Structure 1
Amino acid sequence: MLDLLDRPLRVQIVEDERIVALDLRSGLEQLGFDVVGIAANEPDALRMAESTLPDLVLMDIHLDDGSDGISAARQIRERLSVPVVFLTAYGEPETLTRAAQAAPYGYLLKPFELRELNATVRMALVRRQEERKTESAQRRLQLALESARLMVLELDDGGKRLNWSGQALSDDLAGLAATQGLGGLLAGLDEAGQQAFDALLQRGEPIDLTCRWQDGAAPTRWLELHARRFATERLVMGMVRDVSARVERETRLRQALVVFDATEEAILFLDATQQVLSCNPAFSRMTGWTEAEVRGRRPDDFLYARRHGDQPALAESSRSGPAPRQGEVMCCRADASLFPALEHLCAVLDERGQVSHYVLSFSDISEIRATQYELRHQALHDPLTGLGNRLQLQEALHARTVRAAQASAPFGLLFIDLDGFKNINDTLGHDCGDDLLMAVADRLQTLLRREDLAIRLGGDEFVVLMHDPGQNGAALLLAQKLLNAIAKPVSLGAQSVSVTASIGVALFPQHASTAHGLLKAADAAMYEAKARGRSRAAVYEHALADVAAAHMQLEQGLRRALELRQLSLHWQPMVELDTGRLLGAEVLLRWQHPELGAVPPHRFIPIAEATGLICPIGAWVLDQACAQAAAWQYAGQGLMRVAVNISVRQFEQEDVLHLVRTTLQRHGLAPERLEVEVTESLFGNGAAMRRVLSSLRDLGVRVSLDDFGTGFSSLGQLKSLPMDRLKIDRSFVSDLPHDASSRAIVQTIITLALSLGLDITAEGVETEEQRRALLALGVTEAQGWLFHRAMAVEQMQALLLSQA
């Protein structure tokens, strides 16, 4: 700071008598002072002082125009911190009292001598010089308090007067800085803070603690308090800091430590070079490694099971920076045993955005993988015989047709149907029938090579995929061996029975160029074998095209059926099982052919599926069903739920979501009244179906899985597909309540549905015994002839009116 006495001092004169002012100016200049200006009234004096910023103002008390020099002096002092010396002819007590309010640096009565003026001016400037030093020290102290975000409290020993200095800690602590006494301070502190102040005042114990403060409804804040009592001064001095953010961080760290120690997920804390710093107890339990054994080592060196040439598991993450990485890995325990794990690597960044640490967490998914394997095995195998099921056949056919096209690897398909199996089932019962099916399955497995595959399609139908059959002779030779083995007697309880079979043989690509065509060809050959007297095998021949001709007649008629209005809808009511109350209806398609008469759905629906006609027909069914349901809804007779079947071909070839949305909008039907029924064949394209079904559910439409349990279901995909309802196939319902296997299957389906949060509907309920058995198993909704047959729209409307 530049010393005021080391340069010419700048003085402003405020005097309304011009001659006196000029004389005063002359005397000051003789003394070596620099006069910056002369003002005669209060406004001019203020403006001049603001523009020139003098070191000192010599002020007359009474000025021109009734101005008040004392008022001007007070404003100059408060606004500019410029010292003022009064030069006046007035020395009355009243004037002196008023002048003291402006805190002048001197008071000279006119007339005065220059040496007296010189002494007064210089002493005033010396005083101002010392004041500036004090102000600078106070300012530095204030800046230090602000930098440290501290408030200073000053409390007299009796606790009656409380003063604060320093920066207010935060808006939430404005009430703290406003407290005037100890009582107000203690009212906001928690019990620990109150006890600390009591000990300070009573026994002189210093305060060093962190405690809570709350001012009314304001959020709770945390304060760091340090205070001491100075007995000689009868004073308490202290400092206060708002440490709420620090306390919150420490709380989060403690919580994170609890999670770190308590979680069942293994966690490794790594440095920037991915060396282990610490591990949690779950890691040691899961792997058998102790923290001492892994500290300082890289997980790549001990944790991962790798083959020769494999890249380190964490190396890619190290090169790619802090991006998190998640995936499945195979880990190695301390005892060298392996387990699959799902791991997650996350980078911890410092304040510059650079990686300072890594957190590697992983969980043992051995049980999940074992469960998935078991579910997949169940999904691909027939639960009765242990053979492959329809889904496995579908996958195997796809794989073999692709391999055959790429590597010229032909294969054969043998379609096996037992002759007279229904009679055995009806005569000896389903338990004996199941024993017979298991015996047949065992005999098939015994005769097949490792490369061959046996499948149970369902009921009494089996399929064998034969690897590299050569010409017809090899396939027929295997077929004859199978026929001989099947025909051997089987002991069923106290009886010995024999059953024969008919086998159709088709070769790929000799008889068909697609998996579906091959299955059709073998099926046609099997029917030819039956037509020739059963208990024999037949190879597909193109002469069997007569069957195809019949299909062609149906196909051509089906193509014109929509245009000629030969198709109609029937309604199959769905009811509450215990009361018979109507809950909804499933829409069923009917075809009245002009020559063939009523064509059953099981004849024309497969043709529609195969030819793609199911897409326009399905769109028509959806449109008609929604139109009729909307009409009933507007008439006050609305069904709670209308179920419409949508084919897998529609999902493959059409935008089903757009079709459903526009149909609902066109007819004004509420989405929640529509239920889309799909079949298990959808499972062949689970990822794509999941997206469409999820979008349908987002629209408000419910989704049900029809004919569940017929051996084609993939439980692994079922749990991931968005479904609302399972419909138990009539084949299981028909044998209730006497057939233990059917009862067990129905119970399993119910348990599965409940575990997945799905509703259940039983199909084909035709007897009172079946109804009671289903109720006992926990089924609450059903459809079947016991309640209502499928009916035309007029009958359905009458039913709605009767239950209104």
Structure 2
Amino acid sequence: MMASLDRPLRVQIVEDERIVAFDLRSGLEQLGHEVVGIASSEQEALRLALRETPDLVLMDIHLDQGSDGVAAACELREQLAIPVIFLTAYGETETLRRAAQAAPYGYLLKPFELRELNATLHMAMARRSEERKTEAAERRLLLALESAQLAVLESQGGQLRWGGHQLGQEFRALTQAASMVELQQHLEPPAQRALQALLEHGIPLDLTCRWLAPGGAARWLEIHARRFEHEQLVMGMVRDVTARVEGETRLRQAVAAFDATDEAIMFLDAQHRVLSCNPAFTALTGWPESQVLGLRPAEFLYARRHGDHPDRKEEAPRHGEVSCMRRDGSTFPALEHLSAVLDEQGLPGHHVLSFSDISEIRNAQHKLQHLALHDTLTGLGNRVAMQDVLDAPGLRSLGLLFIDLDGFKFINDSLGHDCGDELLKVLAVRLISILRSDDVAVRLGGDEFVVLMRHPRSAHDALQLAEKLLQALAQPVPLAAQPVAVTASIGVALFPEQVDSPQSLLRAADAAMYEAKARGRNRVALYAQAHADGASEQLRIEQGLRLAMQAGQLSLHWQPMLEMGSGRILGAEALLRWQHPQLGQVAPQRFIPVAEANGMICAIGAWVMEQACAQAAAWRAQGLGLVRVAVNVSVRQFEQDDVLGLVRHCLQRHALPAQCLELELTESLFAQSATLRGSLQALRDLGVRLALDDFGTGFSSLGQIVSLPIDRIKIDRSFVIELVDSHHSRAVVKSIIMLAQTLGMEITVEGVETLEQHDVLLALGAVEAQGWLYHRAMPAEELLRLLRAH
């Protein structure tokens, strides 16, 4: 056994001649040593050493398969610190020079005697034992330096030696420097001069400086060094203070941000008394810092009603909306956040209270909430308002009058949309003038209106009201310097006399209205079950749609979307058209609701997606520069179809980048926002953009808009109609634009028809629009010519 071990010496043999290796193993075992394994190549030697970790390796220099024992010995020394003794038949000068690179613990020339080998083993292990003592002492010194987070800098004769705390990967590169001159090259000029003064004149060095490593990140070093003349030695300590310096820098930046931010900020002590506040606080509230120091925010900041207790819950964190009061007594809504700054014991030592004025956001929200319940053009209620009445709890009786104007489309086409809109506003005023205070008038859209008659005494009352409405609506209206008269068809349905739920009233009255039109228009029809059974128009549309898919009667037209300032075409919206052999051009508002009701919208929507992607890819291949194409997607498709799979398949099949496709969704999706949010986010992750179409005409709310992944808001044309003459309309559009900008969304304005509307929208900050002022919807080949011209 070895003197330095209380167990047999574990030896690994590396020899490519098997007979020599087995003979050597036998001799070692006779000496009482344990042979852990035999390797014949460099790779095998390394694998065996990693697995067995022997006490010592006997290594041949020239190994099997051209391996190099010197290289293997170097690897063992660097990776495992295992002593190596070379056993070789070569003693030439070049071999000895190469072997010295591995710093072996012995070098025996073959053949050798067993007792010579045994003596060499003993001396090698004795040397290794002393080295371990030295390493242990150095390790203790390094641990001491490590605990102080210091590195030692020593220079004698111009040479450097480093030790102690490791200051990062970049700093370790500096330890390879060979002289003070090289150290100076990595420091900033002031530090270089200070180091030179130390070396030449013995001036003590105490500074914090930045160290610039070539190709590495800058580090901050704190250096303290002295020159000792008698020993001709420079000794010093180095500490990495990057974290401290960066922390101080961040603190200065925080102070600058504290002073410059528009958000009001107050620093409070543990008892919530004001220690300091920033200039934004004074600008927002009117309170100078000197007058609030030592006060609690609850004593001066929050608006309270008479009788409210002055104390507020002060636990942090706290986040929410509050009503704040300025020094002059005026109030404003604010979004505040209270957070605690914990001390070393984890207890709140200080607090930070920040808040910002959200008056503009709340005003915009109030306007949007008003829009959510009212039709912008007429001021009547909209579908949401109607639904609120139908869903009201405890409703005992209700009458619903469904009003559809006769011939309104002809007026729109002949006199223009402006005259058509003016007619709708006049008729809306007439409706209101006839109704009782409890009745509700609603514009469903286009030329369709609904009157909700609360607690009618009988069907006679409802029919009598309908006749009065017919007479009022039929009175001529002066439009475009000529009197224009329209008639109406009205369907009447009653709950509970005719339907078993208020929600069924709209469908029943709609069926009765079609019966009135079938009887010659300008008349009233009371709902009967036969109306529902004989809804011939809907059936005709439904059957026609099924044939249209097979007969190729459907096509896509495209309406360009332009950059308003330059006229540059940014994209185009795909619009579905149906050319019926008998009915002619069937308006989308006639057949799309039928398709959604019977589920055909999924097949139609898939066809539209396929055609639109194919056309967009063709334009893109021709280098026409069309940024995006917009395709309308029904909520029914999300309910019944795999929209994500459909979109991904179309994009892949036509090699169309996802960012070129924008899906337009109506506000009806908000009714199912919780279930659709995942699908919408998956489309967004795919790269497809999402737009909210006809914004403000349906069920949208600010909270829902924020919660859904929407990229673009499309302002409905109903907001643009009165833009030029109505300050109210301009304020609404401006609010929507501000809201979109705040939420990081883009805006497209629909239905721009006059140059005046164009100019007002530009002034309000709108960037993109579509409408008849620029281009009507057109076939693909016509848009192709337009794109080439641009």
Q: TM-score, normalised by structure 2?
A: 0.61
Q: Secondary structure at the match of 1:383?
A: coil
Relative to structure 1, the CA distance from residue 278 to residue 421 in structure 2 (aligned partners, 3 Å threshold; closer, same or farther) is same
Relative to structure 1, the CA distance from residue 656 to residue 377 in structure 2 (aligned partners, 3 Å threshold; closer, same or farther) is same
Instruction: Tell me which residue corresponds to 2:356.
Output: 363
Say if 2:602 is the partner of 1:618: yes
Check whether the contact 2:576–2:608 (CA below 8 A) recurs between aligned residues: no
Instruction: Tell me which residue corresponds to 1:118.
Output: none
Q: CA deviation digits over 1:378-400, x for unaligned, max 9?
A: 45433333333xxxx32123222
Instruction: Tell me which residue corresponds to 1:571.
Output: 555
Instruction: Tell me which residue corresponds to 1:769.
Output: none
Q: Distance in 2 between matches of 1:231 and 1:680?
A: 85
Q: Secondary structure at the match of 2:453?
A: strand
Instruction: Tell me which residue corresponds to 1:148.
Output: 148
Instruction: Tell me which residue corresponds to 1:381.
Output: 374
Q: Secondary structure at the match of 2:603?
A: helix
Q: CA deviation digits over 1:636-682, x for unaligned, max 9?
A: 999999976543333345554356557878x7886858765544544
Check whether the contact 1:618–1:646 (CA below 8 A) recurs between aligned residues: no
Check whether the contact 1:573–1:783 (CA below 8 A) recurs between aligned residues: no
Instruction: Tell me which residue corresponds to 1:11.
Output: none
Q: CA deviation digits over 1:92-127, x for unaligned, max 9?
A: xxxxxxxxxxxxxxxxxxxxxxxxxxxxxxxxxxxx
Match of 1:722 among 702, 707, 710: 710
Say if 2:454 is the partner of 1:467: yes
Q: How many Å apart are 1:495 and its aligned residue?
A: 6.7
Q: Distance in 1 between matches of 2:495 and 2:282?
A: 56
Relative to structure 1, the CA distance from residue 276 to residue 722 in structure 2 (aligned partners, 3 Å threshold; closer, same or farther) is same
Instruction: Tell me which residue corresponds to 1:542.
Output: 528
Q: How many Å apart are 1:367 and its aligned residue?
A: 0.9
Match of 1:249 among 247, 250, 270: 247
Say if 2:189 is the partner of 1:191: yes
Relative to structure 1, the CA distance from residue 336 to residue 530 in structure 2 (aligned partners, 3 Å threshold; closer, same or farther) is same
Instruction: Tell me which residue corresponds to 2:42.
Output: none
Report the AA paired with residue 371 of structure 1: A
Q: Distance in 2 between matches of 1:280 and 1:618?
A: 58
Say if 2:395 is the partner of 1:397: no
Q: Secondary structure at the match of 2:378?
A: coil
Q: Distance in 1 between matches of 2:692 and 2:697?
A: 13
Check whether the contact 1:642–1:674 (CA below 8 A) recurs between aligned residues: yes
Report the AA paired with residue 441 of structure 1: A
Q: How many Å apart are 1:330 and its aligned residue?
A: 3.3
Q: Distance in 2 between matches of 1:622 and 1:138?
A: 75
Check whether the contact 1:678–1:703 (CA below 8 A) recurs between aligned residues: yes
Check whether the contact 1:569–1:590 (CA below 8 A) recurs between aligned residues: yes
Q: Distance in 2 between matches of 1:603 and 1:233?
A: 99
Q: Secondary structure at the match of 2:255?
A: helix
Q: Distance in 1 between matches of 2:586 and 2:617?
A: 30
Report the AA paired with residue 260 of structure 2: A
Q: Distance in 1 between matches of 2:263 and 2:535?
A: 60
Instruction: Tell me which residue corresponds to 2:265.
Output: 267
Identity value in percent? 45
Q: Distance in 2 between matches of 1:314 and 1:246?
A: 36
Q: How many Å apart are 1:695 and its aligned residue?
A: 2.6
Q: Secondary structure at the match of 1:454?
A: strand
Relative to structure 1, the CA distance from residue 365 to residue 408 in structure 2 (aligned partners, 3 Å threshold; closer, same or farther) is same
Q: Secondary structure at the match of 2:210?
A: strand
Q: Secondary structure at the match of 1:386?
A: coil
Q: Distance in 2 between matches of 1:175 and 1:740?
A: 73
Check whether the contact 1:475–1:505 (CA below 8 A) recurs between aligned residues: yes
Relative to structure 1, the CA distance from residue 460 to residue 502 in structure 2 (aligned partners, 3 Å threshold; closer, same or farther) is same
Q: Distance in 2 between matches of 1:531 and 1:447?
A: 26
Q: Secondary structure at the match of 1:407?
A: coil
Q: CA deviation digits over 1:747-793, x for unaligned, max 9?
A: 979x9699744678989x9xxxxxxxx9xx99898999x999879xx
Relative to structure 1, the CA distance from residue 283 to residue 688 in structure 2 (aligned partners, 3 Å threshold; closer, same or farther) is farther
Relative to structure 1, the CA distance from residue 265 to residue 510 in structure 2 (aligned partners, 3 Å threshold; closer, same or farther) is farther
Instruction: Tell me which residue corresponds to 2:208.
Output: 210
Check whether the contact 1:571–1:585 (CA below 8 A) recurs between aligned residues: no
Match of 1:608 among 588, 594, 608: 594
Check whether the contact 2:695–2:713 (CA below 8 A) recurs between aligned residues: no
Q: Distance in 1 between matches of 2:396 and 2:460?
A: 17
Q: Distance in 1 between matches of 2:680 and 2:419?
A: 41
Check whether the contact 2:188–2:211 (CA below 8 A) recurs between aligned residues: yes
Check whether the contact 1:344–1:362 (CA below 8 A) recurs between aligned residues: yes
Q: How many Å apart are 1:211 and its aligned residue?
A: 1.7
Relative to structure 1, the CA distance from residue 415 to residue 564 in structure 2 (aligned partners, 3 Å threshold; closer, same or farther) is closer
Instruction: Tell me which residue corresponds to 2:75.
Output: none
Q: CA deviation digits over 1:107-157, x for unaligned, max 9?
A: xxxxxxxxxxxxxxxxxxxxxxxxxxxxxx99999986654344566779x
Q: Secondary structure at the match of 2:451?
A: strand
Check whether the contact 1:761–1:779 (CA below 8 A) recurs between aligned residues: no
Q: Distance in 1 between matches of 2:479 and 2:543?
A: 49
Instruction: Tell me which residue corresponds to 1:109.
Output: none
Q: CA deviation digits over 1:445-489, x for unaligned, max 9?
A: 455555443333444443333333343455456556656665677
Report the AA paired with residue 330 of structure 1: S
Q: Distance in 2 between matches of 1:582 and 1:272?
A: 58
Q: How many Å apart are 1:407 and its aligned residue?
A: 1.1
Check whether the contact 1:261–1:282 (CA below 8 A) recurs between aligned residues: yes
Instruction: Tell me which residue corresponds to 2:164.
Output: 167
Q: Distance in 1 between matches of 2:143 and 2:601?
A: 84
Structure of higher CA gyration radius: 1
Correspondences of 1:290-439 after superposition (within 5 Å): 290-295=288-293, 299=297, 302-305=300-303, 314=313, 318=316, 326-349=319-342, 356-378=349-371, 380-388=373-381, 393-403=382-392, 406-417=393-404, 434-439=421-426
Match of 2:440 among 440, 443, 453: 453
Q: Distance in 1 between matches of 2:663 and 2:600?
A: 16
Q: Secondary structure at the match of 2:535?
A: helix
Q: Secondary structure at the match of 1:395?
A: helix
Unaligned runs of 5+ in 2: 1-114, 117-121, 132-136, 754-760
Greater CA drift, 688-697 or 673-682: 673-682
Q: How many Å apart are 1:422 and its aligned residue?
A: 6.8
Check whether the contact 1:562–1:617 (CA below 8 A) recurs between aligned residues: no
Q: How many Å apart are 1:355 and its aligned residue?
A: 5.3
Counting matched residue pairs gives: 647
- How much is the aligned-residue C-alpha RMSD, in angstroms? 6.5
Report the AA paired with residue 241 of structure 2: V
Correspondences of 1:206-245 after superposition (within 5 Å): 207-227=205-225, 239-245=237-243
Greater CA drift, 417-426 or 180-189: 417-426
Q: Distance in 1 between matches of 2:621 and 2:152?
A: 79
Instruction: Tell me which residue corresponds to 2:682.
Output: 695
Relative to structure 1, the CA distance from residue 162 to residue 306 in structure 2 (aligned partners, 3 Å threshold; closer, same or farther) is farther
Q: CA deviation digits over 1:577-613, x for unaligned, max 9?
A: 9999998965556777xxx888946697367357x42
Check whether the contact 2:368–2:696 (CA below 8 A) recurs between aligned residues: no
Q: Distance in 1 between matches of 2:481 and 2:406?
A: 22
Q: Distance in 1 between matches of 2:192 and 2:591?
A: 85
Report the AA paired with residue 338 of structure 1: T
Check whether the contact 2:629–2:662 (CA below 8 A) recurs between aligned residues: yes
